[in-house]
Amino acid sequence: MNNQRLSQTQRQELKLSPQQIQLMKLLQLPLIELEQRIKEEMEINPALEDVRDNDYDDEPTVDDPNEEEYNEDYGEEKDSEEKDNGEERDNNGENDDYNDDEVNFSKDDEFDINDYLPEEDRDDYSYKYQANNYSDDDDLYESPIVNEETFQDYLNRQLAYRDLTEKQLQIGEYIIGNLDDNGYLSRTTLNIVDDLLFTMNLSATEEEVKEVLAIVQELDPPGIAARNLQECLLIQLKRLQEENPFINLSLSITIVNDFFEEFTKKHYDKIAKKLEVSNRELKAALDEILKLNPKPADASSASTKNIHYITPDFFIFVRDGKVELSLDGRNAPELRVSKSYINMLEEFSNSKDSRSKQEAVQFVKQKIDAAKWFIDAINQRQTTLYKTMKAIVEMQEEYFITGDEAKLKPMILKDVAEKVGLDISTISRVANSKYVQTPYGTFMLKFFFSEGIKNEGGEEVSTREIKKILKDCVENEDKAKPMTDEQLMLILKEKGYPIARRTVAKYREQLGIPVGRMRKKI
């Protein structure tokens, strides 16, 4: 017989509140996505509204002292009365001592209308939950939604003009649907035969698929639907030869077709020796190959490319040798709790009604609380963004004044977190997807973060400074005899940066610079 025993254990757990989770999600959103998130919240929560869309005559003015006090304190410490009210709101829903016949919302009940109204002025309650961050000069432009043709639609439209049977058209559309982001067909023709049979109940031979594939490869842009880079380049070269018969591309075609491995490894001496051509002839042929597009789906066509715009969250100006920081006003829109929802609670608090109204009242209270939490999270997001960027500006002030990348100091997430008194994960969320516009360009915040390394003098310098020197060395090298990582290491050592060869290779890869052999040019 099994003995069963009951026991009690006590343990501590760290759990995030819904408000904290909401704030973390809002922090990592860039400005455009934040605006969309606010619109979504307003759609699902009718108690939340935008002041600009609801201009009441009795709205508070910007100079309201109470509002100014709230804006200074949001996200930080609230006054004692508001703290008490917040504790009372947390207990909503725990008391179910309602009479079956009527619900009397009195001061003795767990629901109190004062929890939902500011303490000073009951007639004008909306000021407590809004922030005026717009000026008359702000541009409130809203971009229209454009219905753009996708790259797949662009290819299918071309295919439709071809003289094809219904079966060939279906095969062609299936091939186009399986192209990757670069325009390559990664699946084999044999796999496509099986796919057509199982997914579309279409029986086709491998020869039929290859025949249609050849037709798809004739579409624009040239090189589309190639199965590898070699085939992509060959398709483009042959198309150029057909369209320009006066240009001799036979040597370029031979190099790609017969010496592709030597070409990719830049063994130009071997190619010239085997083909018995001069360096001048070889260079002319290679130049034609290098003009080709290795990623056909990225072809520059207005109808096939999506243009992505960057909206900075911060703006930095340098005036009289001083750095000025401002935050885009759209990071904190003018939101408030709906007047009609507050009126509902006022009516219910002054009347007796049947229990059937209970669910409606709870719904109104829930929506008002959710609206308050969302507005507080938006305000706290604004405060966190500004604090973080201000700390970055103070730590990298010399760079913002001069614009010299070598002036960037070593700075990691931990440094900023300690300076502003926030968690490293919070700083990471802010820096990951936010942009700042400076007099020297627009950068992601993580651009200003870098590790430090000590030079021969014992001074800690940013790795970005070393990378800049490394980049300059590569740009000024003899392309016929590019420097190896060993040679670059010696140059850096002469300049006072004693780093290992593997570290040079690491920084070179981070800069997107290939090895010396791959940088060779004739």
pLDDT digits (tens, 9 = 90+) for 472-489: 888 888 887 888 888 888
Instruction: Identify the pLDDT of residue 392.
Output: 93
Are the CB atoms for 374 and 45 separated by under 8 Å? yes
Coil/strand/helix, residue 476: coil
Q: What is the pLDDT of residues 410-430, one digit of tens each?
A: 888 888 999 999 888 888 888
Nearest 5°: the CA angle 64, 70, 74 is 155
Q: What average pLDDT does the segment 327-339 reach? A: 77
pLDDT for 391 equals 93
Across the range 310-330, mean pLDDT stands at 87
* 3 or 59, higher pLDDT: 3
| Percent of residues, the chain, with pLDDT higher than 70 | 72
pLDDT of residue 147: 53
**Cα–Cα distance, 412 to 445 (Å, whole number):** 11
Burial of 416 (0-12, 13-18, 19+ CB in 10 A): buried
- Which domains are present in the chain? 17-89+103-133+306-447 (no CATH), 151-298 (no CATH), 452-519 (1.10.10.60)
pLDDT at 16: 63
**Nearest CA-CA partner of 141 in 311, 335, 308, 303:** 311
- Supply 177's token pair: 């649907």
Confidence at 32, pLDDT banded by 50, 70, 90: confident
User: Within 13 Å, how many C-alpha atoms sit on residue 45's CB side?
Assistant: 25
User: Would you state the pLDDT for residue 389?
Assistant: 93
Give the confidence band of 40 by pLDDT, cuts at 50, 70, 90: confident
- Comparing 89-98, 272-281, 405-414, 434-443, the range with the smallest average pLDDT is 89-98
Indicate the angle between helix axes 424-432 and 358-395, nearest 10 degrees: 80
**Structure-token pair, residue 260:** 């592709």
Tens of pLDDT along 221-248? 888 989 998 899 999 998 988 888 788 8
Q: Please report the pLDDT score of residue 269 as a whole number.
A: 84
User: Looking at per-residue confidence, does 191 or 50 come out higher?
Assistant: 191
Q: Which residue has the higher pLDDT, 301 or 386?
A: 386
Residue 138 has pLDDT above 60, yes or no: no
Poorest-pLDDT segment among 59-73, 179-193, 327-341, 378-392: 59-73
Contact 260, 254 (CB under 8 A): no
Kindly tell me if the per-residue pLDDT of 59 is higher than 70: no
Between 56 and 62, the more confident residue is 56
Query: Can you give the pTM of this predicted structure?
Result: 0.53
Q: What is the pLDDT of residue 88?
A: 43
